[in-house]
């Protein structure tokens, strides 16, 4: 499975309307496609996921915060100033050496915007939504996540009432890093479960 963009006829009605509006504005010379792409990329891969990365880094560094995150993720996340649209009902699931967590929304595309920013196109694609449930290990393998055969993979299905944040395993050898440095190791995909935390900072 690749993270390719869907064709227009695979878009949900709202996304199709947005695409149509973007096309009209571009044709009239009112917007620059490259500027739109840059803005979307910023919110999809930089600004939004940085919020979640700070939550994960705090959990790695602060056992009390980690316990709070396990018990009441919505409140723990809000305490760092990250609340809002689709972030009201959160649950944090923690990866362990024995269990890897993977998040999907099989019925729609529920996604915690307040901590992960804009949902990636592939997250909403039917291929991911179905295969993540039926063959999670195969999907992870295709995405470059190779787990030991004995590792249990647990799939969490997001809904309008509950959305999930995966807390990935802290990479080995990072004991001396600051919270900010640790946050730089946390990727959006690792907080969905389709990736792992980075072993070292990659700008």
Name the catalytic one among 110, 114, 158, 190: 110
Determine which one of 2, 61, 105, 190 is catalytic.
Answer: 105
Catalytic residue (one of 66, 109, 114, 190): 109
Catalytic residue among 108, 130, 178, 200: 108
Q: Is 61 a catalytic residue?
A: no
Report the distance separating Cα 136 and Cα 13, nearest Å. 28
Active site residue 105: yes
Name the β-bridge partners of 152.
Answer: 99
Active site residues: 105, 108-110
């Amino acid at each position: 499975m690749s993270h390719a963009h869907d064709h227009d006829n695979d878009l949900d009605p709202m996304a199709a309307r947005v695409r149509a509006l973007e096309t009209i504005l571009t044709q009239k010379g009112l917007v620059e496609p490259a500027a739109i792409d840059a803005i979307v990329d910023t919110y999809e891969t930089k600004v939004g996921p940085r919020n979640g990365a700070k939550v994960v880094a705090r959990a790695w560094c602060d056992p009390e915060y980690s316990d709070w995150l396990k018990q009441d993720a919505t409140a723990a996340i809000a305490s760092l100033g990250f609340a809002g649209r689709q972030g009201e009902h959160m649950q944090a699931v923690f990866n362990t050496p024995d269990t890897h967590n993977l998040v999907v929304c099989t019925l729609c595309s529920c996604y915690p915007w307040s901590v992960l920013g804009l949902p990636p196109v592939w997250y909403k694609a039917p291929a991911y939504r179905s295969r993540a449930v039926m063959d999670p290990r195969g999907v992870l393998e295709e995405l470059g996540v190779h787990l030991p055969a004995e590792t249990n993979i647990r799939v969490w299905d997001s809904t309008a009432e509950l959305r999930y944040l995966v807390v990935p395993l802290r990479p080995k050898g990072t004991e001396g890093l600051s919270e900010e440095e640790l946050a730089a190791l946390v990727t959006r995909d690792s907080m969905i479960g389709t990736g792992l935390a980075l072993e070292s900072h990659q700008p």
